[in-house]
Amino acid sequence: MSVCRACGFGRPVPVLELGAVPAADHFPQVSEPVSSAESSHPATMVLCGRCGLAQLADDDTVTQEPRGVEPQALVDQAADALRDAEVAGLLRGSTVTEFGSPHGGTWIPQLEARGFTDVGREYRGGADVVIDSMGIMHEPDQAAAFARRTAATAPDGVLLVQVHSLAAIVAQGQWNALRHGHFAYYSLPAIVGLLRAAGLHAATAWRYDLYGGTVMIAATHHPCEPDENLSALIDAEQAMTDPGVVSGLQQAVDRHVRGLRGWLEDEAAAGRRVYAYGAASRAVAVFGLAGVTSSLVAGVADASAAKQGRRMPGCDVPIISPSELVVAQPDSVLLMVPDLLDEVRRRYPEIGDRWRIDGADEFASREGTHG
């Protein structure tokens, strides 16, 4: 990659290299044989030395992800975010539009319940409230993406943009947040600068626990200084514009992959059957780098009917329905998306205490015992 996706500055610095992995959004039919070509797509995160944006380097994949089902955790978090914006007096006016995410989910119904009307992105004069929750990261041209959201926001309107925090990704070693089709990873210093370059001014922000740490930023056309909360978040994340700090993610890759592989091999050797839950994009690189096959994970359950009957990219592990998982009665269920834990415990009480969280310390303790 020769220039930054946002500011055009030359030669962003590599900070995370996964090598060749499967395309994170291509789930073949289960009957389709696994081919070596599936796992031939380079995945590298780079950091711009000018604007500080962490971003996916070249992406040679074609987006074709089956639409996911919105987890309850996202619905609940949207309610919290809108309540915070309302208390702050930012939900003014009567019109709304939303830049959606391919992962599913929408905030529009909750705004319509407050009396707003969805007018679409081309509404003349812009919408009073513009929503982007986890959508803007999917835009290859980041400068153009921010410009479109600015244009969609009315002169007295507000843009509410929610992103997965780069600070949380680095602090928690969430290296598998890097995936094809996700073109940007935002620190507060970077996103505030990108908003300013597009003609918007960040006014305040809120942090949430979703995905280990997400941030919602409120921005308007009116010039303003960041409030105390946003200023504190910006100051706390200044290190996220330093390639030397962000590159610490590289160490998390081997630790995660070796720990998981070791645990799966131990379970197989003991004759215990492991299934997984959540055929999420973040699971693709984990399975690929750990060399997971159906001999180690017999199947991955997912609530999305569009994914059922397919298999995980790059391996022969089938994607099944949650009801099939319950019937299988595995010895352990590896949960690939930790945010789903409360929801799946409620929905599938038959699993009991057999849930295991991908990336948990119990796997890391096995690191180094398996080659």
Q: Strands 95-99, 117-118: parallel, antiparallel or unpaired by DSSP?
A: parallel
pLDDT score, position 66: 53
pLDDT score, position 370: 44
Q: Which residues contact 334 (CB under 8 A, 6 or more apart)?
A: 274, 275, 276, 277, 297, 356, 357, 358
CATH fold label, 253-364: Rossmann fold (3.40.50)
Q: What is the pTM of this model?
A: 0.92
φ/ψ of residue 256, rounded to 5: -65, -50
pLDDT per residue of the chain (371 residues) written in tens, 0 to 9: 689 999 999 989 999 999 999 998 889 999 999 998 999 999 999 999 999 999 999 999 876 655 567 778 888 999 999 999 999 999 999 999 999 887 768 999 999 999 999 999 889 899 999 999 999 999 999 999 999 999 999 999 999 999 999 999 999 999 999 999 999 999 999 999 999 999 999 999 999 999 999 999 999 999 999 999 999 999 999 999 999 999 999 999 999 999 999 999 999 999 999 999 999 989 999 999 999 999 999 999 999 999 999 999 999 999 999 999 999 999 999 999 999 999 999 999 999 999 999 987 667 655 544 44
pLDDT score, position 369: 46
Q: How many CB atoms lie within 10 A of CB 251?
A: 11
Say how far apart CA 219 and CA 150 lie, in whole Å: 9
Name the segment(s) of the chain with CATH classification 3.40.50.150: 72-246
φ/ψ of residue 103, rounded to 5: -80, -5
Whole-number Cα distances in Å, 16 to 67, 188, 254? 27, 20, 12
Can you point out the beta strands (E) in the chain?
A: 13-21, 41-47, 54-56, 95-99, 117-118, 127-133, 153-164, 184-185, 201-208, 214-220, 274-277, 300-301, 319-320, 332-335, 355-357
Name the segment(s) of the chain with CATH classification 3.40.50.720: 253-364
Residue 52 identity (one-letter amino acid): G
Angle between helices 228-236 and 188-198 (to 10 degrees): 120
Say how far apart CA 4 and CA 11 lie, in whole Å: 7
Say how far apart CA 290 and CA 367 lie, in whole Å: 12
pLDDT score, position 1: 67
Which candidate, 312, 308, 309, 305, places its Cα nearest to that of 336? Answer: 312
Report the greatest alpha carbon distance in the chain: 65
Structure tokens at 59: 């992406």
Domain 72-246 listed as CATH 3.50.50.60: no
For the chain, the helix, strand and coil percentages under 3-state DSSP, each to the nearest 5: 35, 25, 40
pLDDT score, position 368: 45
